[in-house]
Amino acid sequence: MSKSASPKPLPPNVQERLRARARRVTLLRRRIAAAAAVTFALAFGAVASSGSLGQAGTATQLASTTTQTTTAAKSSTATAAPSTSSSTSAGSTTPVTTQQS
């Protein structure tokens, strides 16, 4: 059997440098984790505020808009005559004719 040699103790300056390096690595890892968490929170907040798939409104707002559009389409179908309105731009009046099918 061969005797295994026990590791030699390191000089004090080497131990100090290794401890300092371990502190730096720990600090760097914590900063990276914090940056990742902040990035995730900002991205999550941006998606939550803009709505799913980039829609500007919430589901309730979109549902009420759809209901209003459907109701308006049904009421305008009964009267299919073209409507006219005027638009004022820089002092001139131009008639606009629209017709819904």
51-96: per-residue pLDDT in tens? 765 555 555 565 666 556 555 556 555 555 555 555 555 556 777 7
Who has greater pLDDT, 6 or 10?
10
| Pair 41, 34: CB distance under 8 Å | no
From the list 75, 72, 53, the residue with the least C-alpha distance to 64 is 72
CB atoms within 10 A of CB 78: 6
Taking only the tens place, the pLDDT of each residue in 10-66 is 888 999 999 999 999 999 999 999 999 999 999 999 888 877 655 555 555 656 665
Q: Which two tokens stand for residue 21?
A: 């390096």
Alpha-carbon span 69 to 61, nearest angstrom: 12
DSSP state of 56: S
Given this model, what pLDDT does residue 73 score?
A: 56
C-alpha span between 96 and 59 (Å, rounded): 33
